[in-house]
Chain A
Amino acid sequence: MRPYPDELLRSLRHSLREVVIPAIEEPWPRYVAKAMEKLLEHLELRALHEERLLAEDITELDEVLGSLAESFADPSLASSAALSAWRALPLPGSATGALGHRGESGAGVAQAQGLQALNEGNEARRAHLVAAIEAMDTAERDDALETALAECRARVRTYLRRELDRDVLLTRPTFMSFGPPVARTEGAGA
């Protein structure tokens, strides 16, 4: 149905910014209205990009989780009960089945699944990665495996940077900054 959701959201934001906010004199209601404007801009970006970005994230999570599982199986890390316990955890499934969308494009995954299923699949994988990070913490502390796990840590951090780049693409309009005006270049300012 037209107008599309992102077009409607843009229209709402425009009216709020150009008509409603300038007419509000009370500081707190004005602050609330400005927060609403930022949220509408965020929603507009979500309407345009969220499915694709979620699918990309799921693909990359599957890659990093798979690579960690392979690394943790290496004999050099086999002494760690924490890493073994993580490997024994059930892999998070997706709406379409077991772990692994390697080879599929993000857009393809998005078309195959609804947004809710994508979010659920993504959160399950993120939870699995959190468990892996905590297992590495334990292995480093209890089994002195810090050096042996350095490469795994690096892989996780590379993924985290990419994950956050995706999150930031959607959330930047809501950012709050406390710097001088010249630094407030991207939706900053409370």
Chain B
Amino acid sequence: MSANVNASVSGRGGTGATQLDADGLQAYLRHVLPELEGLSVERVWRNVGGMSRETWFADVSWGDGGERVEGRYTIRLDHPKGSVVPVPLWWEYRVLEALYGSEVPVARPVAFEVNSSWLGRAPFYVRETVPGTASPSELYAPGREEFRREIGAQFAGLLARVHTFDWQASGLTDFMPVPTNATECATLELRRWRDHYRARAVDPQPVMAELFSYLEQNAPAEVSRVSLVWGDVGVGNFIFDGGRIVALTDWEQSHLGDPMKDWASALWRSVDALLPAEELFEIYTEASGIPVNSDAIRYYLAFYDVECVCTSHPVVGEFLGGRTADATFARLALGIPFYCQDHALRTLGW
């Protein structure tokens, strides 16, 4: 069967093709996974949600001693007009490379590719798909209170592992800026986001101007340690299977900085619906030795709101001149920026 017979083709529109060439993918996977004899791509489909980049899944099978074995791979690539986050695709791939095999569970990175001849698009990368689900609806299903508590406790312990990960020995400093003082833990990232936003903003947003001003002037003056910061943390960005968290995902916003930023992101994404914040913090501090600073978390809640606006508001620019007509982008460009600006102002009591 031709590989592309079963490929789901989605999102044709003003952006140009947002599809994946399943025949090309099969050829590529055979190229990078030669040990999988007779590898065949059986189905390709696009992930729903996760708008920073396109995520596709490929169900494959291969021969092993006369049996057909099945597996799944994940393919990540930029939108046809580029990514909405101010880091290149290789950033998250290199983070996966640094973390894979450590105490921080992540998917195994398979290959990063810059040659567009395989899929007609590049760069892209392939990683193994970790069996399980990231679905919030599975977590929040009625009657799963104990399950949520268990997942919440595991989450706190894993976040402790992220924040105590030895980033100096891992190669991350080859591409991640290293803060030289406490304030820079916030301002290095803040200025990167601000530059990204200003370069792409379509219409003047006084709320953003004032939030940037506040965040610049109120960066926490103390941090307990400089850590690897996951960046986009919480429900929906980890995979669980059978009552166990098996992988942490979405590393494109990772950087070196204040670990409290991850707690802000996690709380923003309602991790305290799994386990009360006090219990999460207790497990975390016990495992990491890092105290929780509620003032810093409050600051980073507003910071995370700004970060989300920076990734979503510039999408408005794609509608200029008809470069895109994608309804999901239109919803993103409206639904995230105003929600986050409103949340930031409420967080700061404005």
In the complex, what residues of B have CB within 8 A of residue A123's CB? 203-204
In the complex, what residues of A have CB within 8 A of residue B35's CB? none
Contact indicator per residue, chain A 80-99, by CB within 8 Å of chain B (1) or not (0): 00000000000000000000
Evaluate whether A134 and B327 lie within 8 angstroms (CB atoms) in the complex, with A126-B204, A178-B269 already known.
no
A38 at the interface (CB under 8 A from B): yes
Closest residue on chain A to residue B237 by CB atoms: A178
Would A28 and B45 count as touching, CB distance under 8 A?
yes
Would B330 and A129 count as touching, CB distance under 8 A?
no
Would B331 and A39 count as touching, CB distance under 8 A?
yes
Would A163 and B207 count as touching, CB distance under 8 A?
yes
Evaluate whether A164 and B48 lie within 8 angstroms (CB atoms) in the complex, with A126-B205, A174-B334, A175-B335 already known.
no
CA distance A43 to B283 in the complex (A): 46
In the complex, what residues of A have CB within 8 A of residue B339's CB? 171, 175-177
Partner of B338, one of A35, A136, A159, A164: A164
CB distance from A177 to the nearest CB of B (A): 7
Would B270 and A133 count as touching, CB distance under 8 A?
no
In the complex, what residues of A have CB within 8 A of residue B270's CB? 178-180, 183
Closest residue on chain A to residue B350 by CB atoms: A157
Number of interface residues of B (CB under 8 A): 42
* Those of A158-180 within 8 Å (CB) of chain B: 159-161, 163-164, 167-168, 171-172, 174-180
Q: How many A-B residue pairs have CB under 8 A?
A: 119
CA distance A172 to B204 in the complex (A): 20
Would B330 and A181 count as touching, CB distance under 8 A?
no
In the complex, what residues of B have CB within 8 A of residue A28's CB? 8, 10-11, 45-46, 48
Closest residue on chain A to residue B334 by CB atoms: A174
Would A180 and B273 count as touching, CB distance under 8 A?
yes
Evaluate whether A31 and B140 lie within 8 angstroms (CB atoms) in the complex, with A126-B205, A174-B331, A174-B334 already known.
no
In the complex, what residues of A have CB within 8 A of residue B131's CB? none
Would B48 and A133 count as touching, CB distance under 8 A?
no
Q: Is the interface of A mostly helix, strand, loop or mixed?
A: helix
Partner of A126, one of B45, B46, B206, B273: B206
Q: Residue among B207, B332, B336, B338 with the most chain A CB within 10 A?
A: B207
Which range holds the interface residue count of chain A?
Answer: 35 or more
* Those of A24-49 within 8 Å (CB) of chain B: 26-32, 35-36, 38-39, 42
Contact indicator per residue, chain B 79-104, by CB within 8 Å of chain A (1) or not (0): 00000000000000000000000000
Evaluate whether A130 and B8 lie within 8 angstroms (CB atoms) in the complex, with A38-B331, A178-B269, A179-B273 already known.
no
CB distance from A164 to the nearest CB of B (A): 6
Closest residue on chain A to residue B203 by CB atoms: A123
Would B338 and A175 count as touching, CB distance under 8 A?
yes
CA distance A2 to B341 in the complex (A): 37
In the complex, what residues of A have CB within 8 A of residue B332's CB? 176
**Interface-located stretch among B117-125, B209-217, B293-301:** B209-217
Partner of B207, one of A29, A136, A160: A160
A sample of 12 inter-chain contacts (CB < 8 A) reads: A123-B204, A126-B205, A157-B345, A160-B345, A163-B206, A164-B342, A175-B335, A176-B332, A178-B136, A178-B235, A178-B236, A178-B268
Interface residues of A (CB under 8 A from B): 26-32, 35-36, 38-39, 42, 123, 126-127, 129-130, 133-134, 136-137, 140, 153, 156-157, 159-161, 163-164, 167-168, 171-172, 174-181, 183, 190
Interface residues of B (CB under 8 A from A): 8, 10-11, 45-46, 48-49, 136-137, 140, 203-207, 209-210, 213, 216-217, 234-236, 268-270, 273, 326-328, 330-332, 334-336, 338-339, 341-342, 345, 350
Lowest 4 CB-CB distances: which A-B pairs, in order? A174-B335, A179-B270, A127-B204, A126-B204
Q: A26-B8, A127-B204, A157-B350 are in contact. List 6 more A-B contacts (CB 8 A).
A: A130-B209, A133-B210, A164-B207, A172-B338, A175-B339, A183-B270
